[in-house]
Chains A and B, each alone.
Chain A
Amino acid sequence: MDGLPRTGPPNWHASTAVLEDYSRCGLDVARAASVEQHLLTCASCRDQLARLVAADGAAARELDELWIDVVDIIDRPRVGVAGRLIAGVGVPDHITRVVLATPALRLSWIVSILLVLAFAVGAALRTGGNDALLLAVAPLIPLAGIGSAYGAGVDPMHELVRAAPLPGSRIFLLRSIAVLVTAVPLTVAASLLVPGGGPAAVAWLLPSIGLVGATLALSTWCSPRTAAATAASGWLAGLAVVWLRAAGSPTSAILAAFPFRPAGQALFAALGGIGALVFSLRFARFDAPGGRQVEVR
């Protein structure tokens, strides 16, 4: 081994030729590892290597690049399991960070969804497959997430978000999509656990889309939290009327209620589309300063 004894007293040194090759990445893996091991204990060789690298512009640049890479890896923010999953489907790093900041992707949110769904499915199982509660509750789950995705009072950094150039409408939309991607599959899976439900078990899906559309549209006039609360209140009020006016079993009346019939399903699907359209026409409201008398065209 040129200039590199396998073992030896601590006063041996690597030859200049070997250090030059090392600085240019010209050594094979075994030799490079051997030199690195020696450099850890030999200040004299480290100094000589530093001089060689400094004198060789290309090596110095390569070392700087390497060092920046190392620092960048050390500094890279933690993204957790959810972040890795999002990044895994090709979502850029900066969008992943924006999405992850929403409370809707935190573990506590997912646990809350699971608890609500477990309660609703449990009720359906106890009543022999009557999923009226599930149908009533399921559309509200995404609303809770969207209502807490953006705005003062739900985002501690909202003041900075408002002053930043990244459009608030974009942040809100990205987070709303993240909420839907999390909540809808879980709710569909829960619905399919109800025996004998069949396609009717997911009859909540189009009403849910309609309520999400209504929330998006309303949030261009008021905060997302108020918009979600308004949409949820409307939904619950409608079901309460059905419940109170039921001639027979109230749960049967809910199962046969308008939102779960074909015409109702079509109406809620249309509501979802109209809501998205209104949002797309008025999204600049998100980016306007808060308060009155400022029209953002």
Chain B
Amino acid sequence: MAMVDVDAVSKRFGRTPVLDAVSMRVGPGVTGMLGPNGAGKTTLLRIMATVLAPDSGTVRFGDRSPTSADALHAIRRDLGYAPQEPGFYPDFTVFEFIDYVAILKELDDRRARHDEVRRVIGLVGLDEVAHRPIRKLSGGMRRRTAVAQALLGSPSVLLLDEPTAGLDPEQRLRFRSLLSERGDDRAVVLATHQTEDVTALCQHVVVIDHGSVRFDGSPPALAEAARGRVWVSDGPEPGAVLTWIDGTGRHRHIGDPPSGATLVDPTLEDGYLLLMGRDSRGERAA
């Protein structure tokens, strides 16, 4: 079922709209769901993980829709989900935690289950702390523990909420390698606000802001959206949407360049920032 179709999904919490008719299609490969904090990424991921029901709209997993108990059960069997805050029993060791999740995933045979638990612990490189209580782990190790449980049973759909938060550069590299190996024949959705992760990993990117899809396409297309809108100078530019000083000490600007500006090739981050900056400007103007 390595395909998830989200169609016109809306969700409110009380009077607060969180998602507004969101539609997207996730196929095999790694999809980055990019957006600022509070954009609605986590809510959408929870709906895709069948934890939360939409107020309106539908989510289909391949040819299945979670409208009957049997279909829901089949969908959940083939789904790996790592929430932003998985919630740990602090006294559980890494092995015990993942083993418990494996039981929730109906891996009832103990020997086979333990083999699978050891496999996913090895995948995220936590072998040496497998028997350490989770309360004694660093934030990065906890994130890896959360990702490990999502990999149990090699699900076709993998939903990961901010999986690289708290990881050091080496761990992040390892994580990217792990995901890129798994993105060939399964649908991986990565909710993040880190453009580097999307650049490094994703074949597809969906930008969400204020509960709506702002962009849906390939990472190069998002970068291209800023072509001709990114320039560098030696000083600040009051007309730019965004300005910052880059690693070379020069000012990098996004917006409408003045004549004669030194245009540079845009990155995915430029495209994303232009999209976000333009939206926030529009909001201020309104």
Contact = CB atoms under 8 A, between A and B. Distances in A.
Interface of A: 68, 71-72, 74-78, 92-94, 97-98, 101, 155-167, 284, 287-297
B89 A157 contact: yes
Interface in B18-69: 46-47, 49-56, 66-69
Interface of B is mostly: mixed
B99 interface: yes
A165 B56 CA distance: 24
A74 B118 CA distance: 12
Contact of A157 (B55, B67, B87): B87
A155 B50 CA distance: 18
A101 B100 contact: yes
Given A74-B131, A75-B95, A78-B96, 12 more contacts: A72-B111, A75-B117, A157-B101, A160-B87, A164-B104, A165-B73, A287-B69, A290-B51, A290-B53, A291-B55, A294-B67, A296-B72
Contacts of A165: 73, 76-77, 104-106
A106 to B, nearest CB: 10
Contacts of B49: 163
A156 B89 contact: yes
Contacts of B111: 68, 72
18 contacts: A74-B131, A75-B130, A77-B95, A94-B107, A97-B100, A156-B88, A157-B86, A159-B85, A160-B83, A160-B86, A167-B73, A287-B72, A289-B47, A289-B66, A289-B72, A291-B11, A293-B56, A297-B67
B86 A293 contact: no
Interface of B: 11, 46-47, 49-56, 66-69, 72-73, 76-77, 79, 81, 83, 85-89, 93, 95-96, 99-101, 103-108, 110-111, 113-115, 117-118, 130-131, 149
Contacts of A291: 11, 52-55
A291 B69 CA distance: 16
A290 B105 contact: no
B261 to A, nearest CB: 48
Contacts of A93: 110
B67 A295 contact: yes
Contacts of A289: 47, 50-53, 66, 72
B89 A101 contact: yes
A217 to B, nearest CB: 19
Most chain B CB within a 10 A radius of its CB, from A72, A162, A295: A162
Contacts of A101: 89, 100
Contacts of A75: 95, 114, 117-118, 130-131
A159 B51 contact: yes
Most chain A CB within a 10 A radius of its CB, from B96, B103, B104: B104
A288 B106 contact: no
Contacts of B93: 77
Contacts of A166: 103-106
Contact of A297 (B69, B76, B113, B131): B69
Most chain B CB within a 10 A radius of its CB, from A93, A165, A291: A165
B103 A94 contact: yes
A295 B107 CA distance: 27
Contact of A72 (B54, B104, B114): B114
A296 B69 contact: yes
B99 A158 contact: no
Contact of B101 (A68, A160, A287, A297): A160
Contact of A159 (B83, B100, B107, B115): B83
B22 to A, nearest CB: 15
A98 B103 CA distance: 8
A77 B54 contact: no
Nearest to A166: B104
B69 A293 contact: no
Nearest to B90: A156
A292 B14 CA distance: 12
Contacts of B11: 291
A176 to B, nearest CB: 17
Given A75-B95, A77-B99, A93-B110, A292 B55 contact: yes
B118 A97 contact: no
B156 to A, nearest CB: 13
A163 B76 contact: yes
B149 A97 contact: no
A159 B54 CA distance: 16
Contact of A97 (B85, B99, B131): B99
A93 B76 CA distance: 22
